[in-house]
Amino acid sequence: MTKTIGLIVGSLRKASYNRMVAQTLSELDASIAFKWIELKELPLFNEDLEAGDGPEAVQVFKAAIQAVDGVIIVSPEYNSGIPGVLKNAIDWASRPSRSSVLRRKPFGLIGATPGGMGTVHAQLQTRHILESVQAQVLPFQKLLISQVHTKVDAEQHRLTDEKTKEYLQAYLQKFVHWIDHVPTLD
Residues forming the site for ligand FMN (CB under 6 A):
11, 13, 16-18, 76-80, 113-115, 117, 119
Minimum distance, C-beta of residue 61 to ligand FMN, in the bound complex (Å):
19
Complex with ligand FMN: residue 36 or 66, whichever CB lies closer: 36
**Those residues with Cβ within 8 angstroms of residue 22's Cβ, 6 or more apart along the chain or in another chain:** 7, 9, 72, 74, 110
Complex with ligand FMN: residue 55 or 167, whichever CB lies closer: 167
How many angstroms from the chain centroid is the CA of residue 40?
14
Complex with ligand FMN: residue 24 or 113, whichever CB lies closer: 113
DSSP string, 157-184: TEE--HHHHHHHHHHHHHHHHHHHH---
Tell me the sheet residues that pair with 153: 158
Complex with ligand FMN: residue 11 or 100, whichever CB lies closer: 11
Minimum distance, C-beta of residue 79 to ligand FMN, in the bound complex (Å):
5
Minimum distance, C-beta of residue 50 to ligand FMN, in the bound complex (Å):
29
DSSP β-ladder status, 158-159 and 152-153: antiparallel
Minimum distance, C-beta of residue 74 to ligand FMN, in the bound complex (Å):
8
Q: What is the C-alpha separation between 169 and 33, in angstroms, rounded?
A: 15
